[in-house]
A and B are shown apart, each in its own frame.
Chain A
Amino acid sequence: MQENIHEKIEELRSQFQQSINGALDLEALEKLRIKFLGKKGEVTALMRTVGRLPAEERPLFGKLLNEFKNAAEEMLESRKKQLKEKDASLRWEKERLDMTLPGKPFQLGRKHPLTLISEEIEEIFSCMGFQIVEGPEVELDYYNFEALNMPKEHPARDMQDSFYINSEVLLRTHTSPMQIRAMEAMAPRLPVRIICPGKVFRRDDDMTHSPMFHQVEGLVVDKGITMADLKGILLLFTREMFGEGRELRFRPSFFPFTEPSAEVDISCIICGGSGCRTCGGTGWLEILGSGMVHPRVLEVSGYNPEEVTGFAFGMGIERIAMLKYGIEDIRLFYQNDLRMLQQY
């Protein structure tokens, strides 16, 4: 009788094996499962016959049958996984996309290159605790010239330099009037630490001059401010703006509202100082004017030059943008050719 049991189960096993090999899709596999392991399947049918066996054979029969059931389930599961993968890979092949077709364009707005430069400068100084202030583009003669030590007869006031509205009012020719305005607003509080970016106007129009252009003015007034501090701040700024390796050169110069005054050169950002076309072979590029605030300027703005000192500097944003971007004609900034603007 025992052999009979083994035979029966063996037969079932080989039957199952054959069927599972012949099941080529998930549907056939499911049918197979029902046929063998379903509620009315072969295993259940065999189980029902257990009662007809002698009592001593029953445990063995049950054990063998269970073993088969477990093995069958395992095989089914693994076959199912196999078929699923095959199925999916067929489907995915049909879903294949040409990954080299162009993506859908999104329109990106851009800032004007002068805004980019200005913001970069503002950020550097802002991080050093400079407040960013703005002033009027149309200015009183007093702030633009008089208070800056440029009395009525000063050559810089010649009509060919400035756009006048009337004898007392003009378009500011530089951002320096904000030195006075900022100090007037602050005095007698200390310290004054500001930068002032903005538009300025001069009667000039060629490759390197635009009747409107942008400057940034800087001013620090406090007790104990020295020219050494001016050097330190500008060196810090230049290295942030143009890179770690940059060197600065301070040359004596003249501005009516600073004394001592200094023109500041940066080691050429194109050739690094060895001499090239951009720097005219000198290795240096002039980028800003600076100096210690003139005592009279402090005085008219409400500070006592015996108690406080200060430094000021000013630079042209276009000049820096031209150097940084390699633009040779200043007028391009105001032509607003979108093909140019969208490069930045």
Chain B
Amino acid sequence: MKVPYNWLRDYVEIELLPEELAERLTMAGLETGAVNVFAPLGEKFVAGRIESLRQHPYASNLQLVKVDIGNEFLEVVCGAKNIKKGDMVPVALTGAVLPGGAVIREAEIKGIVSPGMLCSGEELGVEIAEDEAGIMLLDIKCSPGDRIIDLLPFNEPVLEIDLTPNRGDCLGMLGIAREVAAITGKKIVLPPNEVQEEGKEIDELAAVEIKDPDLCFRYTARIMEGFSIKPSPLKMQFRLLAAGIRSINNLVDVTNYVMWETGFPMHAFDYDKLAGGKIIVRRAKQGEELVTLDGVKRILDPNVLVIADTREPVGLAGVMGGENTEITAETNRLLLEVASFKPVNIRMTARKMNLPSEASQRYEKGVDPEGAIFVQNRAVRLINEIAGGKILRGIIDKYPYPMQKREITLRKSKVQEILGYSLPEDRIKEILTGLSLVVKKKDILEHDVSFHVEIPSFRNDLHIEVDLIEELARINGYDKIPITLPAGVLTSGRRSFEQRVISKIKETLLSCGLQEVITFSFINPKLFDLLQLPSDDIRRNTVKLQNPLTEDQSVLRTTLIPELLKLLQYNFNHQTQNQFIFEIGKVFFPSEKNKLPLEKKFLALVLSGKKPLGDWQNPPKPLSFYEIKGILETLMQSLGIKETRWEEASLPLLHPARGCKILVQGKEIGFAGCLHPFLQEKLDFKQEVFLAELMLEPLLEACTLIPKFRSLPRFPSVLRDAAFIVSRKVKAEDLLQTIRTHGGELLEEVVLFDVYEGKQIPEDCLSIAFAMTFRHPDKTLTDEEIDQILEKVAIALQEKFNATLRKS
């Protein structure tokens, strides 16, 4: 809301500079930004009285105008036609700087030297009404030579106030003035609203009926006749322009002016166009039509409140008037509506019709029905003042359910309880009274004092005790609230088990060189097609947004992989070839039992590129599946999870022969593998991509953060290597299992350390070498003992897999 500083001074005495006022308002909860200057203008502009006009000798479209500028006469060249002898006009003297930056000099125009310039509104930087007519005619009392900046509100400081939605009462200058009064301890001055009625009784001409009192709280009307429609006085135009409102004509300008003044929107109908001279406030009928003032035909329904005459709708209540009853140059009589409507309804209509306006914005926040009469009188008085005409006798006032006065009890102790400091009784009263609240009664309680406070109707944001406490706090200044720390019992801020495990997972993955990423929780469902997920894949069963911004963000993700692949693509396109990334985030599945979907935390890894990074001694090596598996194994180890199995499987997204399910303690928790070659091609990836996705919950269940201590061995271990030649079809894990089983208790550890193919090995076979560590808890093992075990292992491998021990 734009608040011209000097306009505001009409309603309250202000001793603060504009910037100081802005600061004080901000600190009282009316956030005020930088103070801007409306219509900046310099000093070398003065009022001049036109003494005479004569034709320019060498140019038929120009005149030579003699103006009295107080201490001298100037004869200036002028092209405008709207001036005559005796008019007072602004004159730019030589050296004057126009708002556009041009400097006025003595200039020769068609052979005649012009020692200055008569100015239009546009040249002075203000868009006054009917400016196209030419030179600005000063309609205020002034003498030749008076400085223009002293006559009109040029250089007006304008406060831009960003109001919180609860303060609809401050959408008028009076509301702001009330705040200023409360802050500075001054009194507010209401603008005059006494009216001189004459002529017919309004009841003879018009009637108002409210058919839907749930949507219209109060409706008042007055009728005026015989006014003349013309531009408003310059001062009013300037004020409106400073407030950011275009000046139209004196009638429209008054409705806007009084709206800015009081926060109360109003609407003027051409009375003679109202069928039956009657206003009916009702819900629209289904399919009813109305052409609004903007020329758009609106199809209505019963959710919309309309103002109608006996024939048809003539306006959308609180939003916009109808073309059929518009005020025009021919209008003789007007009916002025000042009404109060239900905020929600106005908001719905304005939104549905896409017609947000200064009026609807005020109605949405709630307009005080109690203020209607004051506003009605203020408006017709002003119209009468600047447009002339008669205010007919009487006022129609339909107010089916008058507002009840609201009272709130405020306890002094509660002030201390909420704010942490105590305010003296006098100060409490002073602040409340300053805000125009009425302290009606004081009760002395045993250890307390309570006030009964009557709330004025315009403060529709004050309902309960703490609302008043906030008023006290903000007017007294939040900076007066002391700084303390909460007392009370100690609480533990320790992280939950889940939080600690997730930290550990992140730490481990970071140590493995992976970068954490965060992607959106919503994705494009078309990605499932792109990634060729089978039609019955459960990941296709998504939670859908009703109103997404784009299709790319239209369903909640059921897997982290698609966005990570997109991210991979993005980074490949930006020349990052080595990508090792992971994300921990939620995925969502529709729930049949609950209203809310199931939210599950997942972990996904995507790797592509070379590792190690390479250096001047060793070239980098392309990744293989075993890197991602190694990282996952490291993760399991770090979480103390044993019994992880990697079960070959042909899975969506993955290379048919290079993918596996991951099982922890026999339960499937995710998958890992190489991206399907077709997808790699489709996504235009030039190198292999490795991915894995795991559910976090089972990891949490299997995880042990505190490992159990095993006492250190007292006897030395013995290390033996053995290589076996086996068919390529045999799985390493099966060999390891067999070795573990037959190695017995003395086999402490077995590590597969080499896989060899080539010379000396049959083509359909591999040589697989194991390093076995043996240890006895109570003695040093002898060679014979170990040989015996090894033989048992070799026999078992021979029997099960036809493996032969390779002699070294």
> Quick check: A107 and B611 within 8 Å, CB to CB?
yes
Chain A residues near B28: list those with CB within 8 A.
Answer: 252
Given contacts A138-B556, A228-B419, whether A336 and B31 have CB atoms under 8 Å apart is no
Chain B residues near A31: list those with CB within 8 A.
Answer: none
| Chain A: number of interface residues, binned into ranges | 35 or more
Residue B546, interface by CB 8 Å: yes
Q: Is the interface of B mostly helix, strand, loop or mixed?
A: loop
B27–chain A nearest beta-carbon distance, Å: 6
Query: How far does the alpha carbon of A231 sit from the alpha carbon of B483 in the complex, in Å?
Result: 6
Chain A residues near B588: list those with CB within 8 A.
Answer: 137-138
Which stretch of B93-101, B425-433, B595-603, B670-678 is in the interface?
B595-603
Nearest chain B residue, comparing its CB with the CB of A225: B486
Nearest chain A residue, comparing its CB with the CB of B550: A205
> Quick check: A171 and B478 within 8 Å, CB to CB?
no
Query: How far does the alpha carbon of A129 sit from the alpha carbon of B490 in the complex, in Å?
Result: 7
Chain A residues near B516: list those with CB within 8 A.
Answer: 109-112, 115, 341
B471-506 interface code vs A (CB 8 A; 1 in, 0 out):
001100011011111111111111110010000001
The contact of B473 among A129, A139, A254, A260, by CB within 8 Å, is A260
Residue A201, interface by CB 8 Å: yes
Most buried by B among A226, A249, A281, A334: A226
> Quick check: B518 and A334 within 8 Å, CB to CB?
yes
Residue A169, interface by CB 8 Å: yes
Query: How far does the alpha carbon of A149 sit from the alpha carbon of B519 in the complex, in Å?
Result: 32
Query: How far does the alpha carbon of A153 sit from the alpha carbon of B478 in the complex, in Å?
Result: 31
Query: How far does the alpha carbon of A322 sit from the alpha carbon of B481 in the complex, in Å?
Result: 30
Nearest chain A residue, comparing its CB with the CB of B23: A282
> Quick check: A260 and B418 within 8 Å, CB to CB?
yes
Query: How far does the alpha carbon of A109 sit from the alpha carbon of B513 in the complex, in Å?
Result: 4
Most buried by B among A102, A138, A140, A333: A138
Chain A residues near B518: list those with CB within 8 A.
Answer: 112, 114-115, 333-334, 336
Query: How far does the alpha carbon of A201 sit from the alpha carbon of B579 in the complex, in Å?
Result: 28
Residue B570, interface by CB 8 Å: yes
Chain A residues near B31: list those with CB within 8 A.
Answer: 251, 253, 263
Residue A180, interface by CB 8 Å: no
Residue A216, interface by CB 8 Å: no
> Quick check: B491 and A251 within 8 Å, CB to CB?
no
A190–chain B nearest beta-carbon distance, Å: 8
Which stretch of A13-21, A49-57, A62-70, A120-128 is in the interface?
A120-128
Query: How far does the alpha carbon of A129 sit from the alpha carbon of B419 in the complex, in Å?
Result: 23
The contact of B613 among A107, A130, A158, A164, by CB within 8 Å, is A107
Residue A273, interface by CB 8 Å: no
Nearest chain A residue, comparing its CB with the CB of B489: A191
Residue B510, interface by CB 8 Å: yes
- State which residues 116-159 of A face B: CB under 8 Å: 125-132, 136-140, 153, 155-156, 158-159
> Quick check: B466 and A260 within 8 Å, CB to CB?
yes
Residue B61, interface by CB 8 Å: no
Residue A262, interface by CB 8 Å: yes
> Quick check: B29 and A229 within 8 Å, CB to CB?
no
Which stretch of B128-136, B160-168, B205-213, B715-723 is in the interface?
B160-168
Residue B417, interface by CB 8 Å: yes
A67–chain B nearest beta-carbon distance, Å: 52
> Quick check: B418 and A159 within 8 Å, CB to CB?
no
Nearest chain A residue, comparing its CB with the CB of B599: A136
Given contacts A112-B518, A252-B28, A339-B574, whether A131 and B491 have CB atoms under 8 Å apart is yes
> Quick check: A228 and B470 within 8 Å, CB to CB?
no
Query: How far does the alpha carbon of A171 sit from the alpha carbon of B599 in the complex, in Å?
Result: 12
Given contacts A250-B479, A254-B164, whether A130 and B493 have CB atoms under 8 Å apart is yes
> Quick check: B493 and A129 within 8 Å, CB to CB?
yes
Chain A residues near B756: list those with CB within 8 A.
Answer: none
> Quick check: B418 and A226 within 8 Å, CB to CB?
yes
Chain A residues near B510: list those with CB within 8 A.
Answer: 108-111
The contact of B420 among A111, A137, A153, A228, by CB within 8 Å, is A228
> Quick check: A138 and B488 within 8 Å, CB to CB?
no
- State which residues 159-181 of A face B: CB under 8 Å: 159, 163-166, 168-169, 171
Query: How far does the alpha carbon of A132 sit from the alpha carbon of B28 in the complex, in Å?
Result: 33
Selected A-B contacts with CB under 8 Å, 29 pairs: A105-B613, A108-B510, A109-B580, A112-B518, A129-B492, A131-B494, A138-B543, A138-B597, A153-B343, A155-B347, A190-B488, A212-B520, A224-B417, A224-B487, A227-B418, A227-B420, A227-B473, A228-B420, A228-B483, A231-B482, A251-B29, A251-B31, A252-B474, A292-B418, A309-B418, A336-B517, A336-B581, A337-B571, A337-B574
Given contacts A102-B616, A109-B511, 8 further A-B contacts (CB under 8 A): A107-B611, A107-B612, A110-B516, A254-B166, A280-B34, A292-B418, A336-B517, A338-B579
Q: Which 5 A-B pairs have the closest CB atoms?
A: A228-B420, A252-B29, A226-B420, A107-B513, A254-B164
